[in-house]
Structures are given as C-alpha cells and as structure tokens.
C-alpha cells in the first residue's frame, strides 16, 4: 500500500510510529541514513528522499515506508542551530526527527532489528561506518552521494539508485533523482482537489499540497544554498546545484502563502548565520558538531569541520580551562576529544573570513602513534601542492615534543580553499592505506 500524500510533519510522525511497530513486530523496514557528521545536507537529503520515496515507491520496494534517520543522538540536534532555524520554515520540530536514539540500543540491536529485516539507503556518504556499519553494511541497497566512491555499495542496487557524482550538495542529486516522482505527486494531488485547511490557516484558494511542497522545498533548498554559498562558490557549485535550486525555488514561489515573504538571499543569510552561531557551545561540542570518523584497517581517522578559525577555538579552550595558555589548553582539548574516540589520526578543518573579507581555510593534523605519524607525513608530502598547504602563523604544532616518531602535529593554511573535507578526508585515508606488505611504508 502506497503511503498517502502528507506534510513533512505528518510523514515524520508516521515514520516514527512505523519504526516502533516494525521493532515490536519484526517487520521489514527501509532506512535512509546520512553520514555521521549529520550536517544540514545529510539531514535534509535523508528526509527528502524518504518523504518522496514513501509516496512514490518502486514496484518491488523492500518495505512500504522509508524511514529517514539523522545519524546522531537526539541531543546533537541542539548543537545545530541551523536545524532549528530551518525547522520553522518546514513546519517541523526537533522531536519529529528520527535519530539514533529511536533505534534499539547497540547491545541488543541485532535481536530487536535483525539485519535480514532491514534495507539501508545511504545519502551523503557511500560507506556505512561505525557500529551500524559493523552490523548492517551487507544490507546497504542503494546510495545517492557526492563524495569519492569508496566501493562499498553493490554495483547492482536493483530498483534503488546507485548514484555517486560530484556536486556542491547531495540534496541537489536527491532532488534531481526524485523530481519526476515529485511532480507526479503534486499534479495528481492538486487535480484531486486537495484543498482542506491545515490548522485552519489556509484560504480556499490554497491547495494543501502547494503548502506541503513549498515547505519540503525550503528544507532542500537550505542545504544547497549553504553548501554552495548561495550558488556563488565557483569551486563547489555545479549545474546539478543550480538546476535543483531553481526547481525548489519554483515550488516555493508557486505557493502564494509562502512566496510573498520568501527571498532567497535573506533565507540563505538566516540559515548561514544560525549555522555560524556556535559561540555558546563548549569546545568539545564544537568539535563533535560536524565530525566524521573512518575505520581504516587497524587505524581510526577522525575529522572535525569547524566554522570558526583556530584562534577562536584557542580562546574558547583557554576560557574554559581558566588558564593563560592558549596552545596548552587547546591541545589538551583536542587530545581529550581524540582519546575518547580512540583515534590514531585526527584532523581539524576550519573555515573563516580574513580581515580583508576573503574566505580562508586552516588544517590541523595530529598523529598519535608511529604508524599514524608515517601516514600523516606521507599525507603532507603528497597533498601539499594540491591543497596549497603553507605554514600557519601560530605556534601550535611547532614544538619538538610533537615532532617525533610517536606523535606528530602540524598546522597549515590551506590556500586551495575549494577543497573541503570531501577531498581532504580521502587524501588522509589514502595515506593511511599506503602500508606495504613488508610492514613498512610504500615510497
């Protein structure tokens, strides 16, 4: 039975109820899950894909309904003020999101959620990581992503997509893939005369589906604009992004109730300002807000993306530790974050604006054991030209204590600013793979 047309709010409530039923009754269920950083793009493309796919599923769908999972505990939502700003436009609330807290505890997950009863569609990544990956990697049956292909999704995904293509925002690819189905849903719903009021605030001239479409379109458009700097980033914006943004904006402008107050630049500024408003967060929360982790053989890599400069984090660390030492407090905070996650190699990538108004990036890499040190130095040699790595202005990473065979710490300006974590992480992972069969490191 096809899921009837509904608002995002109604769909998410239905999906959460369906998940509880499936867990209680051992029913089949399909999950759509973004990556572990759970940034805006991961959240919106998982929700948008599950929403549209549930109402227009393939003939041989594994289950009736697609359940979108935001790949963090529910407490992580409060670390993402851009979510809260966007939810107001989509008429949803934090409690509507399905998070890791809605899944069974990992100690009993295989008995409560048997792998054979699940199918997993990956969006905004193409390799299911962490503890979920250890249990359900073999159950991945589809992907839409814009990162480097790690080769972990089957070549034949049947009725589900296997699309991995570079663009600014994964939500652009999801929009493109679902466009025909979305248009068919909107046309059929409108022609059926769906004009009942929602909460008593719709005029007889406003179709309910037009409101629902506009709300979903704003959810998707936000990610595309954030990931492409309002479509102005030449290094990130592709034709996929511009066409998807035009399509979503047309859906917003087709809704008289919302179009009268909608302005794309103002909308972008609102969400972007919320995203950068991290001054009230603790440093440990800032580091985990946009964090991704990979198991690379017997080594673990973690990468944090931060929307403030290292100077900001140093001052935050100093104030929290109540000390005069900028470097010491900051390094202690990074080490604590790394140790809690058993990391062998940790990187922090920052974005900020210079005093001249130019976009800039910094990159910190810290290796914690001999094997990781070899990988970090190989990364530095191999990636220096491509990333435009130049010595950083501060003292972090310049002490001899962190430049030996057991630990190695280095900070650079990354002058080739078009390269985000989508490129830096694969370069780090590739350096970690370069272990030769003899146990040494390949040259």
| Confidence category of residue 439, pLDDT binned at 50, 70, 90 | very low
How many Cβ atoms sit within 10 Å of the Cβ of residue 297? Answer: 11
Mean pLDDT of 291-320: 94
Mean pLDDT of 25-44: 95
Both tokens of 313, joined, read 């984090």
Residues 71 and 214 in one domain: yes
- CATH number of the domain where residue 51 is located: 3.90.1640.10
List, for residues 162-191, the tens digit of each pLDDT value.
999 999 999 999 999 999 999 998 887 554
In this predicted structure, the answer to whether residue 306 has a pLDDT above a threshold of 80 is yes
CB 89 within 8 A of CB 8: no
The chain-wide mean pLDDT, for the chain, equals 90
Residues 173 and 91 in one domain: yes
| Confidence category of residue 296, pLDDT binned at 50, 70, 90 | confident
User: 306 - beta bridge partners?
Assistant: 350
Closest CA to 408 of 420, 419, 396, 416: 396
Domain for residue 147, yes or no? yes
Burial code (b: 16+ CB inside 10 Å, e: under 16) for 399-431 equals: eeebeeeebbbbbbbbeebebbbebbbebbbbb
| Confidence category of residue 196, pLDDT binned at 50, 70, 90 | very low
Closest CA to 96 of 56, 136, 35, 51: 51
Q: What is the pLDDT of residue 109?
A: 83
Closest CA to 46 of 115, 141, 122, 104: 122
Q: What is the pLDDT of residue 162?
A: 97
Domain for residue 276, yes or no? no
Q: What is the pLDDT of residue 396?
A: 78
| Confidence category of residue 437, pLDDT binned at 50, 70, 90 | very low
* C-alpha dihedral (103, 425, 295, 275), degrees to nearest 10: -30
CB 291 within 8 A of CB 340: no
| Confidence category of residue 373, pLDDT binned at 50, 70, 90 | very high
Report the distance separating Cα 187 and Cα 251, nearest Å.
12
Closest CA to 177 of 250, 223, 222, 244: 244
List, for residues 27-36, the tens digit of each pLDDT value.
999 999 999 9
List, for residues 223-276, the tens digit of each pLDDT value.
999 999 999 998 899 999 999 999 999 999 999 989 999 999 999 999 999 999
Report the distance separating Cα 440 and Cα 305, nearest Å.
31
Picking from 8-17, 96-105, 107-116, 285-294, which range would have the lowest pLDDT averaged per residue? 107-116
Residues 164 and 86 in one domain: yes
Q: In what order do the strands lie in the sheet with 29-33?
A: 66-69, 29-33, 118-123, 140-145, 162-164
Domain for residue 195, yes or no? yes
Three-class DSSP category at 434: coil
Report the distance separating Cα 314 and Cα 311, nearest Å.
5
In this predicted structure, the answer to whether residue 404 has a pLDDT above a threshold of 70 is no
Residues 224 and 351 in one domain: no
How many Cβ atoms sit within 10 Å of the Cβ of residue 115? Answer: 14
Both tokens of 371, joined, read 């094997």
Q: What is the pLDDT of residue 199?
A: 41
List, for residues 198-224, the tens digit of each pLDDT value.
444 444 334 788 999 999 999 999 999
Helices then strands, each counted (H, E), the chain = 15, 11
Domain for residue 440, yes or no? no
Residues 124 and 68 in one domain: yes
Residues 234 and 322 in one domain: no
- CATH number of the domain where residue 345 is located: 3.10.310.20
- Domain boundary at 241, 268, 295, which? 268
Residues 236 and 107 in one domain: yes
Q: What is the pLDDT of residue 397?
A: 63
Q: What is the DSSP string of 271-320?
A: HHHHHH--TTS-HHHHHHHTEEEEEETTEEEEEEEESS-HHHHHHHHHHH
Residues 20 and 169 in one domain: yes
List, for residues 341-359, the tens digit of each pLDDT value.
999 999 999 999 998 989 9
Long-range residue pairs from 193-202, CB within 8 A, at least 24 positions apart, any chain: 194/5, 198/7, 202/257
Range of the domain at 99: 8-268
- Domain boundary at 233, 268, 303, which? 268
Residues 324 and 216 in one domain: no
List, for residues 320-342, the tens digit of each pLDDT value.
998 777 789 999 999 999 999 99
Domain for residue 289, yes or no? yes
How many Cβ atoms sit within 10 Å of the Cβ of residue 351? Answer: 17
Domain for residue 273, yes or no? no
Q: For residue 111, with 0-12 CB atoms within 10 Å meaning exposed, 13-18 middle and 19 or more buried, which class applies?
A: exposed
User: 411 - beta bridge partners?
Assistant: 364
Domain for residue 338, yes or no? yes
- Domain boundary at 240, 268, 296, which? 268
Residues 390 and 298 in one domain: yes
List, for residues 120-160, the tens digit of each pLDDT value.
999 999 999 988 999 999 999 999 999 999 999 999 999 99
- Looking at the structure of the chain, the number of domains it has is 2
Q: What is the pLDDT of residue 189?
A: 59
* C-alpha dihedral (397, 403, 409, 410), degrees to nearest 10: 60
* C-alpha dihedral (167, 174, 80, 286), degrees to nearest 10: -40
- Whether pTM exceeds 0.85: yes
Residues 316 and 418 in one domain: yes
Domain for residue 2, yes or no? no
Residues 340 and 414 in one domain: yes
């Amino acid at each position: 039975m096809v899921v009837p047309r509904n608002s995002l709010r109604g769909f998410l409530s239905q999906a959460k109820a369906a998940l509880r039923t499936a867990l209680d009754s051992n029913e089949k269920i399909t999950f759509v899950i973004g990556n572990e950083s759970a940034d805006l793009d991961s959240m919106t493309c998982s929700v948008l894909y599950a929403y549209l796919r549930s109402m227009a599923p393939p003939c041989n769908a594994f289950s009736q309904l697609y359940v979108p999972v935001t790949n963090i505990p529910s407490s992580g939502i409060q670390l993402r003020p851009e979510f809260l700003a966007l939810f107001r436009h989509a008429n949803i609330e934090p409690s509507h999101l399905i998070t890791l807290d809605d899944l069974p505890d990992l100690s009993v997950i295989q008995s409560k959620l048997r792998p054979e009863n699940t199918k997993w569609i990956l969006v905004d990544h193409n390799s299911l990581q962490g503890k979920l990956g250890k249990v359900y990697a073999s159950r991945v049956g589809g992907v839409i992503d814009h990162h480097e292909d790690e080769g972990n999704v089957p070549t034949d995904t049947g009725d589900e997509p296997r699309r991995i293509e570079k663009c600014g925002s994964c939500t652009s690819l999801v929009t493109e893939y679902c466009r025909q189905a979305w248009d068919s849903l909107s046309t059929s719903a409108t022609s059926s005369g769906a004009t009942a009021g929602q909460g008593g605030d719709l005029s007889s001239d406003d179709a309910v589906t037009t409101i629902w479409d506009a709300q979903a379109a704003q959810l998707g458009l936000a990610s595309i604009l954030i990931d492409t700097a309002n479509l102005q980033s030449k290094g990130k914006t592709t034709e996929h992004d511009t066409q998807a943004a035009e399509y979503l904006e047309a859906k917003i402008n087709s809704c008289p109730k919302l179009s009268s107050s909608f302005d794309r630049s103002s909308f972008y500024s609102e969400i972007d300002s919320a995203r950068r408003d991290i001054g009230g967060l603790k440093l440990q929360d800032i580091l985990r807000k946009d964090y991704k982790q990979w198991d690379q053989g017997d080594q673990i890599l973690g990468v944090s993306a931060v929307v403030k400069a290292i100077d900001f984090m140093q001052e935050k660390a100093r104030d929290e530790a109540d000390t005069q030492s900028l470097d010491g407090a900051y390094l202690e905070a990074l080490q604590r974050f790394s140790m809690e996650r058993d990391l062998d190699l940790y990187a922090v990538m920052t974005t900020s604006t210079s005093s001249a108004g130019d976009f800039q990036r910094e990159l910190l890499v810290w290796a914690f054991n001999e094997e990781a040190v070899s990988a970090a130095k190989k990364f530095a040699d191999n990636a220096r030209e491509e990333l435009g790595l130049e010595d950083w202005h501060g003292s972090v990473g310049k002490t001899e204590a962190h430049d030996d065979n057991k630990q190695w710490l280095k900070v650079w300006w990354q002058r080739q600013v078009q390269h985000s974590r989508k490129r830096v992480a694969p370069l780090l992972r590739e350096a970690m793979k370069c272990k030769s069969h003899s146990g040494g490191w390949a040259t």
